[in-house]
Structure 1
């Protein structure tokens, strides 16, 4: 199968398949005389394994290490996927149960305590803060946190809406070249928004874009707006930073 056919079959972008090839995660078995990638049934079976691992939150580097092991057993991996997905389903069912009870509470059909409503939620810490401190130092992170803490809830909500709007705009452009004027204008809006929260040099902005791809947590959240968006943003941010550094 050609790369476009595989992308449509698996529900992912051509750019994502190219990225998998670039990092040594999934190489197509052959190419046409014109140089186009061709995927075999064996390649598709491996892609299915990769997507199962991704759904479970495994980082791409870890997936590559697992599937490239000489002793990698596909059936054993399937059993693991099955076990972990059942656990994930159980967690989701608990969340759905809480949501359904909350809906009944809102209708006056049952009564929930405040503790019941927020059971299982924990937003007391930022899971990316420590990594950000290690990459860019305490000063940049502290300045960003200080600015956010000074914002009212309304301002923070507005900021979130602006971020989502830019994500959606970039998602619409993700199948185009990240170097186009339209893509660079949109990623420039992202750069300006981030700098309203704290200073990002072009180099730090480029490094952040790379983290969007290297850290599966970022990739998973960003790609909710469109498969392959994290990779597209990385490339657009690198292009933007390089232009500003010239």
Structure 2
């Protein structure tokens, strides 16, 4: 990419960082970060030293957004976009394939929820099979048996069973929606290079803890134990890696740093 140069602004084609951020739906901070890491540089600067983006710059931003949406890490996106052997048509073809696969997966989830709406009344409790239809591969009835065998005599298990038994279909669907939103925000944080221990990372760690808290009271020490399991148990690792490559390790580290900030040593965390 060209090094930004000072030049007069073309009012018809050049856009400031704020205008581009509003147009493409990302924050000014994100554009500054992408500039700093060399992902998308503004092609020029005004004589007052304001960043200005050309049409080609904005087009590159849109390509970045598509790759990021389908889970490609920022470093890999830069390598793809800067590969001289790949032209724009190849980029568009590759992005179309990735988006089509994502659309197919989302449509399958929508269809599952639609089937649930057809067969379930508003106040009816859900069976494990119905929960599996809502949560898809994330919900496996056999996990319930395994969890009961491991934690069935704990107060947290009793608490979760009591709360789960009182939840309606609408509440379960909200749990799923909240979980998907948290996954998406954590995946975006990984792609954006959000560092464990930062304010943004700690806020996501607390949202993760709150999601567990819907079922039982989860301390920071307990959360660390769960995060350790995300790496120790390949099933959990695979679940998070399917959302975003690197997410399992990132979430583990984020939970550990947030616990440390709340007075818990992750290396000695216990289920208490």
The TM-score normalised by the length of structure 1 is 0.52
The alpha-carbon deviation at position 10 of structure 1 amounts to 0.2
User: Relative contact order: is structure 1 or structure 2 higher (C-alpha 8 Å, sep ≥ 6)?
Assistant: 1
Distance 2:40 2:65 in 1: 11
2:18 matches 1:20: no
Distance 1:103 1:50 in 2: 36
Q: What per-residue deviation string (whole Å, max 9, x for no partner) do you get for residues 101-144 of structure 1?
A: 11111139xxx9844651532357xxxxxxxxxxxxxxxxxxxx
2:22 matches 1:8: yes
Match of 2:117 in 1: 103
Match of 1:121 in 2: 137
Q: What per-residue deviation string (whole Å, max 9, x for no partner) do you get for residues 125-175 of structure 1?
A: xxxxxxxxxxxxxxxxxxxxx9xx873475798xx9xx99xx9xxxxxxxx
Which of residues 216, 219, 224 is equivalent to 1:198? 224
Match of 1:151 in 2: 156
Alignment of 1:52-131 (within 5 A): 52-107=66-121, 114-115=128-129, 117-119=131-133, 120-122=136-138
The TM-score normalised by the length of structure 2 is 0.48
Distance 1:3 1:194 in 2: 39
Instruction: Quickly say closer, same or farther: Cα 1:65–1:34, change in 2 above 3 A.
Output: same
Instruction: Quickly say closer, same or farther: Cα 1:115–1:196, change in 2 above 3 A.
Output: closer
Contact 1:102 1:117 in 2 (8 A): no
The alpha-carbon deviation at position 36 of structure 1 amounts to 1.7
2:244 matches 1:217: yes
Distance 1:28 1:95 in 2: 39
Contact 1:2 1:36 in 2 (8 A): yes
Runs of 4+ in 1 over 6 A off after TM superposition: none
RMSD (Å), alpha carbons: 4.5
Alignment of 1:176-187 (within 5 A): none
Distance 2:220 2:93 in 1: 42
Q: What per-residue deviation string (whole Å, max 9, x for no partner) do you get for residues 14-48 of structure 1?
A: 01101111111111101122222110101011111
Point out the structure with max Rg over C-alpha.
2
Instruction: Quickly say closer, same or farther: Cα 1:66–1:33, change in 2 above 3 A.
Output: same
Structure 1: state its 5+ residue gaps.
Answer: 125-145, 168-182, 200-215, 221-229, 242-246
Structure 2: state its 5+ residue gaps.
Answer: 1-14, 141-150, 164-174, 183-198, 210-218, 226-242, 262-272
Instruction: Quickly say closer, same or farther: Cα 1:13–1:80, change in 2 above 3 A.
Output: same
Say how many residue pairs are matched: 164
